[in-house]
Amino acid sequence: MAENQQKLIHTFGALAELGYEIAHKQNFQEMIRTSLHLLLGSLAIMRGGVARYSRFGHELNMLAMRGFGEDFPLSLSLCYEDERQFLTNGLEPIEVAQAKVLPFFQIYDTSFEKKRIDLLVPLIIRAEIVGVILLGEKANGERYSAYDKDIICAMARHIGVGIAQRNLTAELERRAEENRKLYDDLRMTYKDTVKAFATAIDCKDKYTEGHSVRVGKYSEIIARELGYDENEIEGVAVAGYLHDVGKLTVERNIINAPYRINAKESAELNKHPAVGYEILLPIHHPYTDVPLAAKYHHERLDGRGYPDGLGDKEIPYIAKIVNLADSFDAMTTDRPYKRRRPANEVVEDLQRNSGKQFAPELVTAFFRGMLKELTGETRDRRFRKLLGREYMEAEGFIPMLKDALNGMNGTSSLTLVSLD
């Protein structure tokens, strides 16, 4: 009785330890190794191994072994009949000597005999094979008792659950990775679609070729200077690319008129922000506010813009960014009735209209981005690429830009730029 009690305490101790191992070990391999050692140790079993089942290869891959030597196969194949029998058997130890009719035991007969493997426990968890445990003879040479088998079963269940959990985690990780890839693909498709749309918009206007694409890029520069995160920067760029999408419905001869258009034509053209909003609204954009940027990119801080004559506080911020990028591009590119203006004039204009049309901190951010590139503070060549090298490197432009920036700083919280 005392001996049985001792045994029981010992077994409970081993089970508790095994449960702890499975719940707390981060390293799966190590968890399996420790579990095997606990199992072998608690019943004084000479040799043993734990294998994980791979349903793709229909094979058992050894995860941990003790006393099997180098020549024991690391991978054991199962045929359909073996799997069926294991599933029917459930999580009960199978006496190898009694199971020789199964193909599995015939194929590996020599290996099992050589290592004196007495028991095989199929690890069946929720009606699925997750692995097996192989056990050699007991150190005292005795046969496994019913009591031993009960203990083995309890411990095998723990190990099986550990493997099943690991399989589940691996499957979840695989799905998460798959989802991430799908999301990336989707995002790429969205970006490509946005760019294709921008090109389509720009195709319609032969005089302002590449306008939408440039506005997208200038908007991106401003957002970056404002310290937005990558996601927000992308959203602002998209808003820039698509701001004139409403022009797709405006007659080509109005857009391409080689003269200043009349009031009626102007009224027609001025519908494009509202139309753009209607086009973009039903689309599920990964970023908010893209439709609002289209709708309000012709609004001004002083309320003299269109379509709604909104004031500073009412204009969505993204629309203010796109408005600045849009105006900058209009001033720095040739139009049918107007040639591009020199860089210093454009800077003066932006400065003068700061607080009237443009948000001062956006103008400051834009100037800073420009200056960083001109002084080599960044390696980017964004402005040079968009405007041409000569345009950007006109004599006296850098000091002029610094002056403008310092002048702007009276209305902004950004630090002064050194004038040397």
Residues of the shown chain interacting with Fe ion in the complex, contacts defined by CB under 5 A: 244
Report the residue number, 244 or 361, with the smaller CB distance to Fe ion.
Answer: 244
Identify the helix (H) or strand (E) that includes residue 54: strand 48-54
What sign does the CA torsion over 227, 232, 233, 237 have? negative
Nearer to Fe ion, 202 or 244 (CB): 244
Cβ-closest position to Fe ion: 244
Q: Which residue, 97 or 200, is less far from Fe ion as judged by CB? A: 200
Closer of 295 and 402 to Fe ion (Cβ): 295
38 burial via Cβ count (<10 Å: 0-12, 13-18, 19+):
buried
Least distance in Å: CB of 221 to Fe ion? Answer: 19
Q: How far is the CB of 270 from Fe ion (least distance, A)?
A: 9
Nearest CB to Fe ion, comparing residues 105 and 296: 296
Q: How far is the CB of 298 from Fe ion (least distance, A)?
A: 6
* Residue 81: partners with Cβ closer than 8 Å, 6 or more residues away: 102, 103
Shorter beta-carbon distance to Fe ion: residue 64 or 245: 245
Minimum distance of Fe ion from residue 338's CB (angstroms): 16
Of the CA atoms within 13 Å of residue 103, those in its CB half-sphere come to 10
* Contact call for residues 59 and 76 (beta carbons, < 8 A): yes
Measured from the CB of residue 322, what is the shortest distance to Fe ion in angstroms? 9
Closer to Fe ion by CB, 247 or 402: give it. Answer: 247
66 burial (CB, 10 Å; 0-12 / 13-18 / 19+) is middle
Q: Which is nearer to Fe ion, 244 or 299 (CB)?
A: 244
Joined together, the tokens standing for residue 30 give: 């190590």
Terminal-residue alpha carbon distance, the chain? 96
Taking a C-beta distance cutoff of 8 angstroms, is the pair 135, 152 a contact?
Answer: yes
Nearest CB to Fe ion, comparing residues 244 and 329? 244
Minimum distance of Fe ion from residue 243's CB (angstroms): 6
How, if at all, do strands 117-125 and 59-66 pair? Answer: unpaired
Nearest distance, CB of residue 415 and Fe ion, angstroms: 34
Task: Name the minimum Å distance from CB 288 to Fe ion.
Answer: 20
Give the pair of three-digit tokens for residue 202.
């720009």
C-alpha closest to that of 317 among 244, 235, 217, 214: 235
For residues 318 and 293, the answer to whether their CB atoms sit within 8 Å is: yes
CA distance 114 to 262: 99
Write phi, then psi, for 289 (nearest 5 degrees): 70, -5
Strands 75-77 and 59-66: antiparallel
Please give the sequence-ordered ranges of beta strands (E in DSSP) within 194-353, or none if there are none.
none
Say if CB 49 and CB 134 are below 8 A apart: yes
Distance CA 296, CA 306 (A): 7
For residue 244, the minimal CB distance to Fe ion (Å) is 5
